[in-house]
Chain A
Amino acid sequence: MLRYVVRRLLTLVGIVIVISVGSFYLIHLLPGNPATVILGTGDSPANRALLYKQLGLNRSLVAQYVIWMGNVLHGNLGVSFISQTSVASTIRAALPIDVELIVLSQILAFAFAVPLAMRSARHPDGLVDRLLSAGSFTLLSIPPFIVIVLLVLVVSIKLGVANTGPSSYVSLATDWVANLESLSLPAFTLALGSFVLYFRVLRSDLIATLQEEFITMARSKGISHRRIMWRHALRPSSVALLGTAGVNIGGLLAGGFVVEYLLAIPGLGYTLISAIASSDYLLVQGIVLVVSVGVVLVNFLFDFAINLIDPRISRE
């Protein structure tokens, strides 16, 4: 087990180096530069050169990367060129919003996916199964940016529910009820995609598990159908589900951006898109670093959970 953890951590280091090099290079390929954003277009070339020197942007890309990485290893993510605030504090303010959003969406997704997958798997190709499968396909084919716009239109504009419209984010510390309200629509939108994924993966695994002889044996004990589902069928059917959830949650960490941006929720996604627009190199680098480490860690965590849930895997 220790060897496994060490191997995973080494993988993590490799992934972070590759991603940070890649994003460092890509952000410098983008048109626009911080000097233009800070000084405007009318300033003299001499002033620009001076600012470039002050920001350290006159050095080669490799030298910039090495300096940046050296600082990161000392726990220093740097200070934003634009806002002059520390990148670490900006991330500290934005990250909890994403974490909360993901936790809420995953609770919703699992709360619906698990019981409905059980219901569907009970009679495969039965009426309920067909309705649920068709419904989940329909949901899958509507992109999140359409869903969130429709939800805002109906819930916050037509029905007038408070704190649900764009730019109405309230922090958890201020008012937790208003906070939940302000995150309800984006959480629901993110939950839809996850729900469809989890429902489909779990349904097919459950159908296969229910054919197993040990399920017949469990039936022959005279225990209830509910107990067979929850105690006997769910656990051996959740390996693929947990693997999928790990990848999906990693994806949400990086991909919840559209919803955040549309509702102006000041999470990492919103901050990243603004940072890219203003060529705020260090902030972009910092966010990319945190998100990539987060994605790898979430996957690691779920792989670990799979090991716990199925004793066959760690042995084999």
Chain B
Amino acid sequence: MSATPERTTSATTAPVASEPVLLSVRDLTTTFATNAGPLRAVDGVSFDLGREEVLGVVGESGSGKTVLSRTIMGLLARSRVTVSGSVRLDGVEIVGASENAMRQLWSTRVAMVFQDPMTSLNPVMRVGHQIDEVLRVRLGLSRTAARARSLELLSLVGIPSPAERYRAYPGQLSGGMRQRVVIAIALAGAPALLLADEPTTGLDVTIQAQILNLLDDLTARLHMSVVLVTHDLGVVATRTSRIMVMYAGRVVESGPTADVFADHRMPYTRALLECSPRVSNAPHTRLAAIPGRPPNLAALPAGCSFAPRCAYATERCHREVPALVETTTPGHQYACWNPLPARGGPRP
């Protein structure tokens, strides 16, 4: 897993018109019916994802990024959730698709790496059989062919002595190993789109890097497009071509990764960046934190939802919701009434 070539992250990797779009999301809104009234977890999100492109979705807990990935995956319980807008995967509409229709897409067109490998594997089923299942049920492989392919997948995701691990139960594997198994299951159907929902949150820091490098390496080798959901800007910095920053269910800034890092305009993006610890920080300095808490999605403030926590907020911010506006860099957008000056960059 070492010596993985890092993706080039320059502004030129932004989707160009000639590149066919794999995933097209338009005005996607996901509303939960709760006792406190309707809760909009995802609010009017639009983006395109090109083939073999890696998009980072960043935001605090409760910003709607997990719900966004589950909505795209079509995994939310239909009885309690209303989804509007459009999600097209290779031209196939996912919003409103039946569970039966989704079953045809899952594994083979789109797959998901779940957040917590401690809970996402069946504890009473051998891990090999959990991989076999995709191969046998979805791809129609025979028992022996599936076993052979599962062993290949286990070594592909860097699991030593796969034949032994094939027979293990999840409880006999470490967290990092389990997440590798989860990745192997997601890769089994050779999907075009991989949704990775905080794939390293439950893991040790050293294991986090291994898993992220593995994902990085595999997406390049298997020609997949990836939506990488995380709360950690450090994770997406070198691994994505584009970043989408979410706050309270809305996209507040998006653009080519390098551009967003160097020239972010939305104060929330800067606040997030300042939360990442840096090697250049003096020892024992207090870690920066964003004051306040993310808003209650069932009772959003009028105007910009970040305004109550924003140092730059004006009276207008509390009244009107800012729309996404383009910057001079193609593909870089932000939603703010009082943007930071261009070429601001993170403060030292």
Measuring CB to CB, which residues of chain A are less than 8 angstroms from any residue of chain B? Answer: 212-214, 216-225, 227, 231-232, 235-236, 309-312, 315
Contact = CB atoms under 8 A, between A and B. Distances in A.
Contacts of B111: 220
A75 to B, nearest CB: 42
A232 B134 CA distance: 13
Which 6 residue pairs are nearest across A and B when measured between Cβ atoms? A222-B106, A213-B119, A222-B103, A311-B169, A217-B120, A222-B107
Nearest to A233: B122
B262 interface: no
Nearest to A225: B99
B182 interface: yes
A206 to B, nearest CB: 14
Query: Which secondary structure characterizes the binding site on chain A?
Result: helix
A222 B105 contact: yes
Contacts of B106: 219-222
B254 to A, nearest CB: 26
Interface in B87-139: 99, 102-108, 111-112, 114, 116, 119-125, 133-134, 137-138
A223 B106 CA distance: 9
A223 B120 CA distance: 16
B124 A221 contact: no
A218 B111 CA distance: 11
A216 B99 CA distance: 13
Given A216-B75, A217-B182, A223 B103 contact: yes
The contact size tier of chain B is 20 to 34
B120 A214 contact: yes
Given A213-B119, A220-B111, A221-B138, 15 more contacts: A216-B75, A217-B120, A217-B121, A217-B182, A220-B73, A220-B107, A221-B107, A221-B137, A222-B104, A223-B133, A224-B137, A235-B125, A236-B123, A311-B169, A312-B123
A220 B112 contact: yes
Given A220-B106, A221-B185, A236 B122 contact: yes
Query: Which secondary structure characterizes the binding site on chain B?
Result: mixed
B189 interface: yes
A310 B124 contact: yes
Given A213-B120, A217-B121, A311 B138 contact: no
A213 B124 contact: no
B119 A214 contact: yes
Contacts of A213: 114, 116, 119-120
16 contacts: A214-B119, A214-B121, A217-B122, A217-B182, A220-B106, A221-B133, A221-B137, A224-B103, A236-B123, A309-B124, A310-B123, A310-B124, A311-B123, A311-B124, A312-B169, A315-B172
A30 to B, nearest CB: 49
A235 B133 CA distance: 16
A213 B75 CA distance: 11
B344 interface: no
B20 interface: no
B171 interface: yes
A235 B123 CA distance: 10
Contacts of A217: 112, 114, 120-122, 182, 185
Contact of A227 (B112, B120, B123, B137): B137
